[in-house]
């Protein structure tokens, strides 16, 4: 059940309608049933994974809180970590391990038949980290153990953010799930606007960019120099629009029920460096990685070179988290190297002057570097990414288009993207002006109507699933 399908919105409308007339003491149960139905509708066979992760971490959290024995506390923490990582490794990485062993031992795949064609459980990379993060927080004393199994199960499976985040901390999400919310039209309206913006990004911008992306990142090489160059320059923007559209719909859906999820993006294309970019991108994941992986390892040594190695290792792990393929690992490694090089330049005081012109050049440099990585990220293999790069640097200057049916969708995507960018600037400007027209309800509703018209008339007929659903 994808966020841009009719089934999801029927479920959202139905559950929200019942939610506000349901007695407070039963609301958690309603949301839990809806959440499990949401997951089971897509992959009923793997719903047991949610149950295992929930019961193990609930039990480990309680056990950690009940004992003062450091050894026992550490044992329960290890059980939680091993269980979640084992689930993740088995279902997500066994084919990569098999492929690697086959390559090293010069043998064919060890897996055959149905085992070689297994389906990746949706959301597994997200709910395992969220559930495991809770246990670590309890162990560190940052969170009291949750004694209500129902609320904890809802925390792990909360449907707006179950499939692709944001990865929420228990300290933030659990108290909101326990709070009583009245029907508040202003809150619901703001949630619906977020959903509308998310649909606009996904159906109009991403949908109309997809033909170009599919042409270049498909398994063939029947694309021109112009198409390869344009695709490389738009790759990170494409991923951003796709992922942020999901996040907008997730945050909007949760807001209807009164829950505020983490804003996963903070204008990443305003970043002045690759490091700055990743502090603004997929914020819930980067904070999770920093708090639970990078920071504990960094505390092992004050040596600056250890920190450099650790940065590369951390980003390589982030790449591996995204997917069980060598292109994701290389993508993470490359971004880690970019950040280390930036740190080395900064350490040697080899930095650009600070003014508006040079800041814009920094933004352009960062945009180009992250797009280099995005080509690797979106390619089906490392070899395919190499083919795209070779096509670009060949400078054949072939400005033809292999399929002119892409021209109109690209024009629509360009107009929609420009409209989105302009609207962001308007919103920023109106915050400083009390009499700005956007504060007028008539003007606002006119803007909403324009977005709806765009969605109704210019949505791409064939919509791909959200990119991050595969992770």
Angle between helices 6-19 and 225-256 (to 10 degrees): 20
Q: Check if 322 is active-site.
A: yes
Task: Say if CB 266 and CB 362 are below 8 A apart.
Answer: no
Among candidate residues 4, 282, 322, 384, the one labeled active-site is: 322
Contact 87, 124 (CB under 8 A): yes
**Stretches in the chain below the pLDDT threshold 70:** 96, 98-118, 219, 349-350, 398, 426-440, 471
Q: Which phi and psi angles does 8 have, rounded to 5°? A: -65, -45
How much is the pLDDT for 429? 61
Query: What pLDDT was estimated at residue 114?
Result: 44
pLDDT score at 355? 82
pLDDT, position 468 = 77
With the CA atoms of 84, 86, 91 and 94 taken in that order, what torsion angle do they form, in degrees rounded to the nearest 10?
150
Q: Using an 8 Å Cβ cutoff, are 227 and 215 in contact?
A: yes
Asked whether 109 and 99 are in contact (CB, 8 A), the reply is: yes
How far apart CA 458 and CA 409 sit, in angstroms, is 8
């Amino acid at each position: 059940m994808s966020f841009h399908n009719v089934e999801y919105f029927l479920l959202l409308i139905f559950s929200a309608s019942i939610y506000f007339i349901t007695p407070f003491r039963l609301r958690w149960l309603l949301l839990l049933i809806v959440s499990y139905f949401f997951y089971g509708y897509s992959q009923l066979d793997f719903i047991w994974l949610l149950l295992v992760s929930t019961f193990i971490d609930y039990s480990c959290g309680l056990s950690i809180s009940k004992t003062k024995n450091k050894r026992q506390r550490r044992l329960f923490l290890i059980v939680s970590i091993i269980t979640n990582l084992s689930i993740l490794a088995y279902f997500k990485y066994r084919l990569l391990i098999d492929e690697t062993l086959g390559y090293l031992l010069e043998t064919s795949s060890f897996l055959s038949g149905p085992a070689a064609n297994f389906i990746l459980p949706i959301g597994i990379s997200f709910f395992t980290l969220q559930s495991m993060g809770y246990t670590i927080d309890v162990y560190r004393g940052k969170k009291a153990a949750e004694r209500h199994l129902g609320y904890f199960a809802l925390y792990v499976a909360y449907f707006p953010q179950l499939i692709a985040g944001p990865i929420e901390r228990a300290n933030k999400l659990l108290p909101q799930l326990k709070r009583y919310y009245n029907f508040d039209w202003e809150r619901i309206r703001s949630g619906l606007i977020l959903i509308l913006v998310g649909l606009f990004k996904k159906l109009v911008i991403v949908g109309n960019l997809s033909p170009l992306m599919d042409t270049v990142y498909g398994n063939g090489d029947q694309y021109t120099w112009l198409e390869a160059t344009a695709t490389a320059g738009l790759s990170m923007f494409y991923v951003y629009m796709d992922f942020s559209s999901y996040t907008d719909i997730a945050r909007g859906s949760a807001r209807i029920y009164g829950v505020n999820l983490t804003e996963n993006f903070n204008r990443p294309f305003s970043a002045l460096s690759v490091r700055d970019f990743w502090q603004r991108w997929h914020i819930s994941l980067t904070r999770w990685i920093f708090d639970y992986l990078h920071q504990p390892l960094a505390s092992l040594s004050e040596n600056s070179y250890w920190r450099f190695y650790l940065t590369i290792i951390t980003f390589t792990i982030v790449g591996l988290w995204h997917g069980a393929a060598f292109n994701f690992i290389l993508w993470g490694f490359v971004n880690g190297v970019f950040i280390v090089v930036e740190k080395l330049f900064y350490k040697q005081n080899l930095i650009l002057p600070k003014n508006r012109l040079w800041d814009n050049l920094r933004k352009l440099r960062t945009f180009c570097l992250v797009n280099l990585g995005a080509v690797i990220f979106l390619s089906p293999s490392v070899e395919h990414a190499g083919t795209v790069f070779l096509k670009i640097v060949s400078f054949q200057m072939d400005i033809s288009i292999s399929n002119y049916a892409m021209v109109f969708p690209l024009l629509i995507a360009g107009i929609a993207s420009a409209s989105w960018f302009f609207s962001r600037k308007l919103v920023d400007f109106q915050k400083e002006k009390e009499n700005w027209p956007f504060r007028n309800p008539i003007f606002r509703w006119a803007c909403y109507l324009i977005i709806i018209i765009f969605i109704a008339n210019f949505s791409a007929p064939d919509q791909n699933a959200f990119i991050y659903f595969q992770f």
